[in-house]
């Protein structure tokens, strides 16, 4: 019998062996089972735990208005629309949501994809191709890297938030005939740091490069209108492609692009991840529309402020106890800001997994970021606050995390 090399190779994957080993020893931080709605306290595998591992920054996942938006869409359209947006998959809810997003961002148009991952994959692979160059931050999200690879463009990575390295790349590409696209996250999901968007935008203008900013983790938090880091740092009007996810602060599922009419119409006919996938379920679209409207309201402003206040409580408490939580993000004209993501640097993958398990047993749910999500020897505990966390919950978490890290280091 001939050897089936594919199946044989699957049986010899070191990462699969590692997954099985940590799963069998029950120290794996992955695929844990949630048994209640995402809130400051979540029941996870039979016990209540303080939730510091969710991207539910504004605390909207169980908000009555978001539940009602989902329920109304479910009642009208049923469980699924069962078609692509191109054919029978576009609902009036999509048009309302896209109009709301475009108005919110002050752009000519907007377009909603089924997932955030597909938003980046479809957009990047549609707007650049062979002969073009994409300069991308080395810490960019996997969906950005995958979209770049799919596009066929030449990919040039620059060191994380290193403006001089980016300028070196742009200088090298200035003489080429193809388009140049620079892609950065507004807020990086692992370290929780903002991109130096003012300097990046200035370089793009100087070298004739287009700029795409992924606001997945900054949407709903930063800027007067809460459209994200580009608005906070004053370059929202200079951003050619504005992307965000609907699955973080908006607490639903999906993603969108906001920009010019030319950009969006081009995506409608060229973005394969938009054209050849089924439309998002109606409940998700209804929830997204309700969430966007709430974020734009006075309540949304209050929740954004509380999320950052809570982040300051968590971060300062851990820092005061000697934990390595990294630097604050600088603001134009001086000053610094916290973000809803607070990362505790650990270094070793195994140590991070053991810390995660001890915290889990002590009633605090965190996220463990291990290689390849972070660089080798860059393991960390990724903590996320919600606007709805109480001061008591956060101070309890500070005490438990600080005690656990101190014990591990002894």
Rounded to two decimals, the pTM is 0.95
> Residues near 342 by Cβ (< 8 Å), separated by ≥ 6?
192, 311, 314, 315, 318, 325, 383, 384, 385
- pLDDT of 12: 77
From 3.90.1150.10, 3.40.50.2000, 3.40.640.10, 1.20.1080.10, which CATH number describes the 64-295 domain? 3.40.640.10
- pLDDT of 162: 98
Nearest to 233 by CA among 196, 187, 193, 188: 196
Nearest to 28 by CA among 367, 410, 397: 367
CB 113 within 8 A of CB 252: no
Q: What is the DSSP letter of 36?
A: S
Q: What is the DSSP letter of 95?
A: H
- pLDDT of 364: 98
CB 220 within 8 A of CB 203: no
Architecture, CATH, for domain 25-54+300-409:
Alpha-Beta Complex (3.90)
> 3-state class of 42 per DSSP?
strand
- pLDDT of 174: 76
- pLDDT of 95: 98
- pLDDT of 376: 86
Q: How far apart are CA 73 and CA 294, in angstroms?
A: 17
- pLDDT of 370: 86
- pLDDT of 92: 97
Assigned token pair, 44? 């996870």
- pLDDT of 259: 98
Indicate the domain borders of the chain.
25-54+300-409, 64-295
Phi, psi for 241 (deg, rounded to 5): -130, 115
Determine how many CB atoms are found less than 10 A away from the CB of residue 234: 15
- pLDDT of 380: 93
The tens place of each residue's pLDDT in the chain, 410 residues long, gives 788 888 888 887 877 887 788 778 787 888 999 999 999 999 999 999 999 999 999 999 999 999 999 999 999 999 999 999 999 999 999 999 999 999 999 999 999 999 999 999 999 999 999 999 999 999 999 999 999 999 999 999 999 999 999 999 999 997 788 999 999 999 999 999 999 999 999 999 999 999 999 999 999 999 999 999 999 999 999 999 999 999 999 999 999 999 999 999 999 999 999 999 999 999 999 999 999 999 999 999 999 999 999 999 999 999 999 999 989 999 988 899 999 999 999 998 889 999 999 999 999 999 998 888 788 888 999 999 999 999 999 999 999 999 999 998 87
């Amino acid at each position: 019998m001939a050897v089936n090399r594919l199946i044989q190779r699957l049986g010899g994957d070191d990462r699969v062996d590692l997954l099985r080993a940590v799963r069998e020893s029950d120290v794996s931080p992955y695929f844990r089972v949630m048994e209640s709605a995402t809130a400051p306290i979540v029941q996870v595998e039979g016990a209540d735990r303080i939730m510091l591992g969710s991207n539910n920054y504004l605390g909207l996942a169980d908000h009555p208005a978001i539940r009602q938006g989902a329920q109304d869409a479910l009642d009208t359209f049923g469980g699924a629309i069962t078609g692509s947006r191109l054919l029978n998959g576009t609902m009036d809810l999509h048009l309302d949501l896209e109009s709301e997003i475009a108005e919110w961002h002050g752009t000519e148009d907007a377009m909603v994809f089924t997932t955030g991952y597909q938003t980046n994959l479809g957009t990047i692979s549609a707007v650049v191709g062979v002969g073009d160059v994409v300069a991308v931050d080395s810490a960019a999200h996997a969906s950005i890297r995958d979209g770049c690879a799919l596009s066929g463009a030449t990919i040039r990575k620059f060191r994380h938030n290193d403006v001089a390295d980016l300028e070196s790349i742009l200088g090298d590409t200035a003489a080429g005939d193809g388009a140049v696209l620079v892609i950065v996250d507004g807020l990086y999901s692992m370290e929780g740091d903002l991109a130096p968007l003012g300097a990046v935008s200035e370089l793009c203008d100087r070298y004739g490069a287009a700029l795409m900013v992924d606001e997945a983790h900054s949407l709903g938090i930063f800027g007067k209108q809460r459209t994200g880091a580009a608005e906070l740092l004053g370059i929202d009007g200079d951003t050619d492609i504005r992307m965000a996810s609907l699955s973080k602060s908006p607490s639903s599922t999906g993603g969108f692009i906001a920009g010019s009419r030319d950009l969006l119409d081009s995506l409608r006919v060229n973005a394969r991840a938009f054209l050849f996938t089924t439309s998002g379920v109606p409940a998700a679209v209804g929830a997204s529309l309700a969430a966007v409207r709430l974020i734009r309201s006075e309540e949304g402003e209050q929740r954004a402020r509380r999320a950052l206040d809570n982040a300051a409580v968590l971060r300062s408490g851990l820092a005061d106890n000697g934990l390595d939580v990294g630097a604050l993000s600088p603001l134009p004209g001086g000053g610094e800001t916290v973000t809803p993501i607070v990362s505790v640097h650990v270094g070793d993958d195994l140590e991070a997994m053991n810390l995660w398990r001890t915290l889990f047993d002590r009633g605090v749910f965190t996220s463990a970021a291990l290689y390849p999500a972070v660089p080798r020897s860059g393991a960390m505990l990724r903590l996320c606050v919600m606007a709805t966390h109480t001061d008591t919950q956060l101070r309890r978490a500070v005490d438990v995390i600080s005690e656990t890290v101190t014990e591990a280091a002894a």
